């Protein structure tokens, strides 16, 4: 075999080795974000949405938000926020939710009873490089404390606190506040958003 031919064949063998090595050493897709970057991402503090902010968005009928209830189906059915969809934490990485979560259009707000589950979920979605994902700070517990059953500030409190309280009182009646048992009738059962344009395989060939 001539030198050039040998060169080409060796080139192919090297290429094949490369493919083999990559195939056996690199697992995907959970390696999308490197650990050191992850620390930076987790340290960001602007990953939270407060209950007040969320209440405002819902009352303003903000179409860009997507609420994700991370708890079990039973808990979700008993009570959930208006328009929230249910994706239990353990199913968060499932293929069927990928199109819903991995997108740039809507703002996803994760919530659970407190912040714990939501933070775990948020770490997962960061690892998967999903964008626009936020955590409801304090979760449903805080939602109840602040929005559904806001506590009246003491007379010595600051004016801003009174303003917040008035807002919360208004929100409370909007959300049918006072109780978490017996879901308010304005709650609309949300279904998973429409999938993006369906990708179908190519036709053609000698078939």
Please report, for residues 59, 65, 107, 184, the alpha-carbon distance to residue 104 in angstroms, rounded to integers and kept in the order given: 23, 11, 8, 31
Closer CB to another protein, 35 or 205, in the complex: 205
Closer CB to another protein, 9 or 42, in the complex: 9
Radius of gyration of the chain (CA): 24
Q: How far is the CB of 154 from another protein (least distance, A)?
A: 57
Closer CB to another protein, 11 or 42, in the complex: 11
Q: How far is the CB of 193 from another protein (least distance, A)?
A: 20
Q: How far is the CB of 6 from another protein (least distance, A)?
A: 9
Taking each helix axis from N to C end, the angle separating 116-127 and 35-43, rounded to the nearest 10 degrees, works out to 140
Closer CB to another protein, 159 or 197, in the complex: 197
Q: How far is the CB of 125 from another protein (least distance, A)?
A: 18
Which of 114, 63, 125 is closest to 92 using CA atoms? 125
Burial of 94 from C-beta contacts in 10 A (0-12 / 13-18 / 19+)? exposed
Helix extents (H) in the chain: 3-25, 35-43, 51-59, 73-78, 98-101, 116-127, 139-143, 159-174
23 SS3 class:
helix
Q: How far is the CB of 9 from another protein (least distance, A)?
A: 5
Which residues of this protein are in contact with another protein, per CB under 8 A?
1-2, 4-5, 8-9, 11-13, 15-24, 26, 28, 197, 199-207
Closer CB to another protein, 30 or 162, in the complex: 30
Closer CB to another protein, 158 or 206, in the complex: 206
Residues linked to residue 111 through DSSP beta bridges, in sequence order: 69
12 SS3 class:
helix
Q: How far is the CB of 147 from another protein (least distance, A)?
A: 41
């Amino acid at each position: 075999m001539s030198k050039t031919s040998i060169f080409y064949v060796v080139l192919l063998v090297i290429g094949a080795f490369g493919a083999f090595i990559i195939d056996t050493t690199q697992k995907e897709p959970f390696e999308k974000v490197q650990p050191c970057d992850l620390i930076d991402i987790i340290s960001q503090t602007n990953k939270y949405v407060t209950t007040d902010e969320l209440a405002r968005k819902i009352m303003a009928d903000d179409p860009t938000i997507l609420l994700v209830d991370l708890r079990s189906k039973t808990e979700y059915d008993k009570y959930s926020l208006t328009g929230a969809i249910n994706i239990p934490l353990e199913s968060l990485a499932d293929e069927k939710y990928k199109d819903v979560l991995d997108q740039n259009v809507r703002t996803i707000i994760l919530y659970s009873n407190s912040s714990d589950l939501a933070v775990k979920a948020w770490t997962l979605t960061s690892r998967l490089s999903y964008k626009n994902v936020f955590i409801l700070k304090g979760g449903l517990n805080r939602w109840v404390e602040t929005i559904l059953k806001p506590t009246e500030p003491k007379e010595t409190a600051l004016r801003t606190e009174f303003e917040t309280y008035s807002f919360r009182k208004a929100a409370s009646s909007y959300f049918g506040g006072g109780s978490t048992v017996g879901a308010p009738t304005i709650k609309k059962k949300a279904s998973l958003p429409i999938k993006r344009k369906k990708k179908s395989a190519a036709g053609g060939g000698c078939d």
